[in-house]
A and B are shown apart, each in its own frame.
Chain A
Amino acid sequence: MTSFIQVFKRHPTIVVGGFLLSLLFLMAIFAPWLGTIDPTALSPIHRTRVPSEKFWFGTDLLGRDVYSRVVYGARVSLTVGFSVAILSAVIGTVIGLAAGFVKWIDAIVMRIMDGFMSIPTILLAIALIALTRASLENVILAVTIAEVPRVVRLVRGLTLSLREQPYVEAAVAAGAGRVRIVAKHIFPNTIAALTVQTTYICGLAILAEASLSFIGAGVPPSTPSWGNIMAEGRALWQIKPHLIAFPALFLSITILSINMLGDGLRDAIDPRMAKRI
């Protein structure tokens, strides 16, 4: 107990952010047992009801239970967030390490990454989605493609500075091969910064999915995702604000908790940075 208080005192944002995120995770996993009904079940008699004891968050245009839809929506958001974070971290690290170590790869790869980075995330995703069918996998793929360049830049930059370190030179002098140097001496030293970056990417990906679904370029309309629920509530929100208020609240809390976790991790890993940003 004392150790928990110590951790909390030193890094309150990690504890609060991590706690909120775990709650959201539990909500996503145990969605069917949280007093929800089928989030896609239509009930035209109960259309656009305001929040009540029976319908906690009210019902939407088609009479679907908004509470159930919001709870199930956590599954979509967290799936997208974590899939994109892990995929872009893995792909970005491999490309970044290669670019940082092999000159000719660097020249080509960095021009391509510059190109990708000059297309704003949402537009890049829109282009990919417009040409494929709307699906969860395609959203994950599109957002991953948009986020990979950020990781590549980070890892490449770190690799370039790490390979000048005396201990890497020592390893080269001792006859260690390239692969061994990268695996044993370079990669482990990128993990800390990579973790922080991956946390932020998770938040950005959740935001991107919600934005894309909101404008009709995200997951299929039948899927209960926070962006979709808000998109459906768009036509009636002035009379029935509850249609968008609840998904908006959950979306904001999710991104907030991830950003708090990211800020806390950054402060914990690099205390010098804590003072700065």
Chain B
Amino acid sequence: MLAYTLRRVLLTLPVMLFVALFVFGLLSLTPGDPAVLLAGEDATPADIQRIRQTLGLDEPFLVRFADWLWKVMHGDLGVSLFTGLQVSQMIGQRLAPTFTLMIMTLILSVTLAVPLGALAAWRHNKFYDRSIMMMAVLSFSIPSFVVGYLLAYAFGLELRWLPVQGYVPFSQGFWASIRTLILPTCALGSVYVALITRISRATLLETLSQDYIRTARSKGVSNKGILFRHALKNVGVPIVTVVGSGVALLISGAVVTETVFSIPGVGRLTVDAILRRDYPIIQGVILMFSFMYVLVNLTVDLLYRVFDPRIKY
């Protein structure tokens, strides 16, 4: 187990190094002078020189990369071209709403989707199954920002139950803050729920057709007993895998959802950075999210054993 854990942790290093090389190298790979490009159309030569100096574009590539990587490993993600502030500081200030949104979405999706998937599998090819699968295809196909506008229109503008847009920080009250995130959570969760419902249903269907379930049934175990004591125990691993790999969807979705609901999170920061061509911020955000994604999937891999003690390394 220890050997496996070590090997698995070591395997994430080349992946992280590649991501770092990619976001950093992109700046040099793009045709033309990156400083001119980032400065925009009506930049003065002084602006361009300033950007070139901020990014250290005068040095050779490998020197720059090593220097930058060293700083990144010490938490220094560089300086924003627009505000002149530390990128790590700017991202740090925006983390709270984004992470709260993601965690709420994760909790909502898993608590909603696993029972839905189980119900669909249990009523295979019956009314509930058909309706749940139809809903899953629908919510898988409607983009989360469209769902966001629909929800904001229905529950915000028409019914006035929840705030249409905006965000209240935790410092101004826990529930007031959570209230502003309910609609964004539902919007962001729609795709995720569909994904987890489908995989839960598929896994449970597969499990229900196994020999040991037939054995349990033949020795007279009740339907309830089969579902809760025999079948559901064995669906953990595939579901956890999808929850882990689905975090990528969650990250992409958060950027767009924050734009719909005007939430001042990391996604908004990224969108503003695109408009201002503030590449250091984009670089920092990608590094952070990719690191997080790799970490989540590392945790998932290591959790397999907890969910399925039969797995040996």
Selected contact of A118 from candidates B19, B153, B206, B274, CB within 8 Å: B19
Asked whether any CB of chain B lies closer than 8 Å to the CB of A263, the reply is yes
Query: What is the CA–CA distance of A207 and B142 in the complex, to the nearest angstrom?
Result: 9
Asked whether any CB of chain A lies closer than 8 Å to the CB of B167, the reply is no
Asked whether any CB of chain B lies closer than 8 Å to the CB of A92, the reply is no
Smallest Cβ distance from A272 to chain B, in angstroms? 10
**Chain B residues, CB < 8 A from A238:** 157, 164
A133, closest chain B residue (CB)? B37
Other A-B contacts than A127-B286, A248-B149, 5 sampled, CB-CB below 8 A, are A112-B18, A119-B289, A122-B255, A130-B282, A251-B146
Asked if B19 contacts A115 (CB within 8 A), the reply is: yes
10 A/B residue pairs, CB under 8 Å, sorted by A = A118-B15, A121-B248, A121-B252, A123-B255, A130-B279, A131-B34, A132-B37, A207-B143, A238-B164, A277-B202
**Chain A residues, CB < 8 A from B205:** 275-276
Query: What is the CA–CA distance of A131 and B23 in the complex, to the nearest angstrom?
Result: 11
Asked if A252 contacts B146 (CB within 8 A), the reply is: yes
Q: What string of 1s and 0s marks CB contacts (under 8 Å) between B287-300 and chain A?
A: 00110011001000
User: Given contacts A127-B286, A131-B26, A238-B157, are A215 and B256 in contact (CB under 8 A)?
Assistant: yes
Interface residues of B (CB under 8 A from A): 14-16, 18-19, 22-23, 26-27, 30-31, 34, 37-38, 137-138, 140-143, 145-146, 149-150, 153, 157, 164, 198-199, 201-202, 205-206, 248-249, 251-252, 255-256, 259-260, 270-271, 273-275, 277, 279, 282-283, 285-286, 289-290, 293-294, 297
Asked if B18 contacts A256 (CB within 8 A), the reply is: no
B153, closest chain A residue (CB)? A241
Asked if A215 contacts B164 (CB within 8 A), the reply is: no
Query: What is the CA–CA distance of A203 and B191 in the complex, to the nearest angstrom?
Result: 14
Q: Do most interface residues of chain A lie in helix, strand or loop, or is the interface mixed? A: helix
Query: What is the CA–CA distance of A230 and B16 in the complex, to the nearest angstrom?
Result: 35
A218, closest chain B residue (CB)? B274
Asked whether any CB of chain B lies closer than 8 Å to the CB of A155, the reply is no
Selected contact of A263 from candidates B14, B137, B279, B289, CB within 8 Å: B137
Asked if A252 contacts B142 (CB within 8 A), the reply is: yes
B270, closest chain A residue (CB)? A126
**Chain B residues, CB < 8 A from A230:** 145
Selected contact of B15 from candidates A111, A214, A237, A259, CB within 8 Å: A111
Smallest Cβ distance from A145 to chain B, in angstroms? 10
Query: What is the CA–CA distance of A54 and B275 in the complex, to the nearest angstrom?
Result: 35
Asked whether any CB of chain B lies closer than 8 Å to the CB of A120, the reply is yes
**Chain B residues, CB < 8 A from A131:** 26-27, 30, 34, 37-38, 279
**Chain A residues, CB < 8 A from B270:** 123, 126, 215
Query: What is the CA–CA distance of A112 and B21 in the complex, to the nearest angstrom?
Result: 11
Selected contact of B137 from candidates A127, A210, A217, A260, CB within 8 Å: A260
Smallest Cβ distance from A204 to chain B, in angstroms? 10
Q: What string of 1s and 0s marks CB contacts (under 8 Å) between A91-126 and chain B?
A: 000000000000000000001101111111111101
Query: What is the CA–CA distance of A179 and B245 in the complex, to the nearest angstrom?
Result: 34
Q: What string of 1s and 0s marks CB contacts (under 8 Å) between A14-57 and chain B?
A: 00000000000000000000000000000000000000000000
Query: What is the CA–CA distance of A215 and B251 in the complex, to the nearest angstrom?
Result: 14
**Chain A residues, CB < 8 A from B273:** 130
In the complex, which of the residues A122, A130, A241 has the most CB atoms of chain B within 10 Å of its own CB atom?
A: A130
Selected contact of A255 from candidates B142, B157, B285, CB within 8 Å: B142
Asked whether any CB of chain B lies closer than 8 Å to the CB of A193, the reply is no
Selected contact of B290 from candidates A119, A132, A215, A259, CB within 8 Å: A119
Selected contact of B23 from candidates A122, A127, A217, A252, CB within 8 Å: A127
Selected contact of B141 from candidates A203, A234, A237, A276, CB within 8 Å: A203
Q: What string of 1s and 0s marks CB contacts (under 8 Å) between A244-265 and chain B?
A: 1000100110011001100100
Selected contact of B138 from candidates A116, A132, A215, A256, CB within 8 Å: A256
User: Given contacts A211-B145, A241-B153, are A130 and B274 in contact (CB under 8 A)?
Assistant: yes
User: Given contacts A211-B145, A241-B153, are A132 and B14 in contact (CB under 8 A)?
Assistant: no
Q: What string of 1s and 0s marks CB contacts (under 8 Å) between A170-196 and chain B?
A: 000000000000000000000000000
Smallest Cβ distance from A139 to chain B, in angstroms? 13
Asked if B142 contacts A120 (CB within 8 A), the reply is: no
User: Given contacts A130-B274, A214-B256, A256-B141, are A115 and B146 in contact (CB under 8 A)?
Assistant: no
Asked if A118 contacts B142 (CB within 8 A), the reply is: no
Asked whether any CB of chain B lies closer than 8 Å to the CB of A128, the reply is yes
Asked if B149 contacts A244 (CB within 8 A), the reply is: yes
Asked whether any CB of chain B lies closer than 8 Å to the CB of A129, the reply is yes
In the complex, which of the residues A131, A203, A216 has the most CB atoms of chain B within 10 Å of its own CB atom?
A: A131
**Chain B residues, CB < 8 A from A127:** 22-23, 26, 282-283, 286
Smallest Cβ distance from B292 to chain A, in angstroms? 10
Asked if A214 contacts B145 (CB within 8 A), the reply is: yes
**Chain A residues, CB < 8 A from B271:** 215-217
Query: What is the CA–CA distance of A117 and B289 in the complex, to the nearest angstrom?
Result: 12
Asked if B206 contacts A276 (CB within 8 A), the reply is: yes
Selected contact of A252 from candidates B15, B141, B201, B248, CB within 8 Å: B141
